[in-house]
Amino acid sequence: MTRETIRRRGAVGSLTVVVLSLLAAGCTQSQAESPEPERTSSVDSETALNQMIAAVDGATKRLGGEWHKETGPRYAEDCELPDGGQGAQWRYLVTRPSVGDVAKDVAGMEERWKQQAMTIDHWGTEEEPTIVGRGGDRTKSISLSVAKNLYGVEAISVCFTGDADDL
């Protein structure tokens, strides 16, 4: 294993821990401050997958650079449908082992997601922020997280009828 591979895996592990702790710490606050609009239209699993991939691709294209798939895009997990029934959703995480102009990149992503009718949550610090876009009609959420020498973009698809274990 090369030194670069070891460094990248360590950085990805660090980013994952940061993203998960921020999500865990902010879940109650985020739900109270930014309730997700109820979705009245349903999508099938393939549409939800394609919309989520397009959202991640749009973000990474805007940010530029070479991105590496870490999780997904065909990683399914359970979710609750608007009617209370069991559903499934896709999760997709990509990383880039470098950062750019953090303030400019965060502001650009925030503006893009606001134009898509998303609400924005902010976590982290000025040097290592995480912004999360929620709502809109293409994903449940999408986020940009910054860690030392690493960007991560993660999206969760809209919830669709299905069983995550069967996908």
Q: Which pLDDT score, from 0 to 100, does residue 10 have?
A: 52
24 vs 118 pLDDT, higher one: 118
Per-position b or e across 52-78, b if 16+ CB within 10 A of its CB: bbebbbbbbeebeeebeebebbeebee
For the entire predicted model, the pTM comes to 0.77
Summarize pLDDT for 107-162 with one digit per residue, the tens. Answer: 999 999 999 999 999 999 999 999 999 998 899 999 999 999 999 999 999 999 99
State the average pLDDT over residues 13-28.
Answer: 40
Residue 78 has pLDDT above 80, yes or no: yes
Q: Is the CB of residue 33 less than 8 Å from the CB of residue 132?
A: no
Residue 83 has pLDDT above 50, yes or no: yes
State the average pLDDT over residues 43-62.
Answer: 97
What CATH number should be reported for the domain holding residue 67?
A: 3.30.2030
What is the count of structural domains for the chain? Answer: 1
Domain region containing 156: 3-166
State the average pLDDT over residues 53-73.
Answer: 97
How far apart, in Å, do the first and last CA atoms of the chain sit? 32
Residue 26 has pLDDT above 70, yes or no: no
The token duo for 48 is 């939800």
Residue 49 has pLDDT above 60, yes or no: yes
Q: Exposed, middle or buried by CB within 10 Å (0-12, 13-18, 19+), for 81?
A: middle
Which pairs count as long-range contacts for 144-147, CB under 8 Å and 24+ apart, including other chains? 144/59, 144/63, 144/105, 144/106, 144/109, 145/15, 145/18, 145/19, 145/22, 146/99, 146/102, 146/106, 147/11, 147/14, 147/15, 147/18
pLDDT > 70: what percent of the chain? Answer: 75
